[in-house]
Structure 1
Amino acid sequence: MNPDPCSLSASPPRSWPSEGYTRAPYWAYRDPDIYAREQARIFRGKSWHYLGLEAEVPEPGCYKTTYIGEASVLLTRAEDGSLHAMLNRCAHRGNMVMREAFGKARKLYCVYHAWSFTLEGDLARAAFQHGLRGEGGLPKDFDTAQHGLRKLRVNTLCGLVFATFSDEVEPLEEWLGDVAAGIRRVLRKPLKVLGYDTQRIHANWKAYHENPRDSYHANILHTFYGTFGLSRQSQESGMILDASGRHVYFYTKAGTEKESSDYKETSSSLRSVNDGLRLEDPGILKWTDEFQDGISVQILTAYPGFVLHQIANSLATRQLLPKGPGQADLVWTYFGFADDDEQMTRTRLAQANLAGSAGMISVEDAAVCEMMMRAMGDAQEGESYIEMGGRDLDGGGATKLSERAIRNFWHNYRLDMEL
């Protein structure tokens, strides 16, 4: 008798390539069972996830709706000024409680059956709890304390807000390790939000997560970087990972070229170096060394879905949100400092055009992620080769000419996923 096709697994048995973290099998980007497992083991597992800026919920009663993986989440500021994060899912019948991206409220109110919650996520009132005229209502032993919103742990660092489902993961700054220094370098003062940009990328979230970890591609793919000198492989640069390899940041110092014969030989063949291009208004290249260290570009990535960038004087966070095996949202939040003068704010806004969904630099990142997914096809065979700079987790040292950070990503991913 033929087996019932409905009883068969949707995916064939999987085994990781024997080369380990120097390979990434293409099925890891496409398999719906893998995607479902990621939601449980990574996004609801032992990781911290970026929710937003403290400046986005500046006053008591302010809230923001966002996501961790595919879970709808609320970030609130309570009357005492404390920050809270919780699932944006009513404890009654699972309806979304708050629908607006941002707002201000005295209570969190579910429109379906009028259950209301405090800003800390506790159930305050259930409509008709005691019934009407002696009929209906909730059981007499109904305990409001047992039916609040699912609360998450919250930690902050330099105005950034992170949350986790886990009671076991270490505190945020300890989890970030040495990479926390890259956050403290940039976020030195109170922040102010300048704007937002959200793009849908038709690629698996991991394809994009690899991208800002990939210091090697920046001066090859991005014509603007190489041509106009904000970042070149010939400039002074470095890469720092935390001890676990989960998180990384790298930096480049414009104007520190140390060209060599091998650099000239390679750069002359790169399409990203085009001496024939000119800017009609070169003002976008003018930047102030506001941190007094010569760094023109710093890109920081925290596992599994956060990016902080400084590109000249453009400052932004990126929040990576998976939306199925084949697509993800990337939410850009542009910001400056609360004490910026008008000229600096204008500079930050002008240089924001370098990044974002249509940025003169970053538009190419989403494009190559989508190209990768199209090239993978059904992903039943094939794998990435990740050996630039070595075959181990430390190979390549501090140089940007390395895929060390990507090898470390896949190492941690496999640990979390038990693959």
Structure 2
Amino acid sequence: MALQKNSVRMLCAGALVCLFFASSVGAQTQEVPPSTPSPESELEALLKSYQDRIPTQNAIITASISGSISLTQDPETPSAHQAVTFTVSSVLTDLDRATITWYQNGVLKEQGKGKKVFSTQTGAFGSVSTVSVVVLTTEGVLVTKRSSLKPLDVELVWEADTYTPPFYKGKALPSPGSDLRVFARPIGASGADSSFVYRWKVDGKSVPSASGYGKSTATLPGLFLGGKTATVEVSIASLDETVRATKSITIRGVTPRILLYEDRPLEGIRYGRALGTTAVAPGNEMTVRVEPFFLSKDARTNGSVLYRWTLDGGTVPTVESSGSGLVFGEYGTHRLTLFNDGSAQKMVSLGLSVRSTASLFSSVNKLLTVSLGGKPFSDNGSF
């Protein structure tokens, strides 16, 4: 009986221990709600975060001096084998007292106090050279600047949209009212012509419509009114602007020039020999053709150019027969045919005036004295 009581007591004691242990564990694992920070602590944390972002005095001085030092080169767009001068400058620190070291392609070239200028020479087209300058200021700030030398040139070729007759070996020249096309070709560039940005100018004024990426050809209308000259300039640059070049060309406009040629039925137009101030017809008939050199192609075909013929100072009649033994054909055009219906030789003074209805240029005049033979006798002895 006593043994049973002791067993009961031990079981109760164990149960109490287990209950106490379980309650202790539950108390430890119970989630504690977070405490809400006070406004004062939040303000202190915010001020501390801003204080951490404020640069020190030394950092401000270093950044200011470093930003004030610049490296320039002259010329900005050098060609191949051309002298280039580099200059380092600053508005905040005295570079005359600074230690300046110059490197080219990693090789030390010059070093010393106040060496603000360095001269070198570019290589061949397509070559790349890097110039670096290291500046140690009296404030103890170390600054490095770099520049790349990539010699590039631009070839400008132009063509005028003007008329020249067949077999003419010269260049078509621009005239009032004509379009001018200018082609830019980079020399010494590794990329294609279309991989550059082109900026076109005429007489110093930008031409936005002709400028842009890949626009290596510019069509420029109406530059030569009054026969003036025009200066066309193009600046090209790679997309990252590490390669740049500028080129300009001055082009002079001309007034259209007219020449007269004989047009024979069997031989055609005798382009090999222009008529001068006098001409002798091979018989009693002669066809004269006008060739307007350097006339705008549009003006030549759209009817804005008029041909006015005169005979001995008077206007050529609009009818075929003049009543004086001469017959004209194709009045008002670039061809005119003369016939001598008489038996005697005739000398006539033929004049021509070419003008533009759009007032693109002043009238261009030509005078020709023609000797026409008499009409040959027929088999029955009549004229």
Q: Give the TM-score normalised by the residue count of structure 2.
A: 0.20
Larger proportion of helix? 1
Of structures 1 and 2, the larger Rg is shown by 2
Larger proportion of strand? 2
Higher relative contact order (CA 8 A, sep 6+): 1
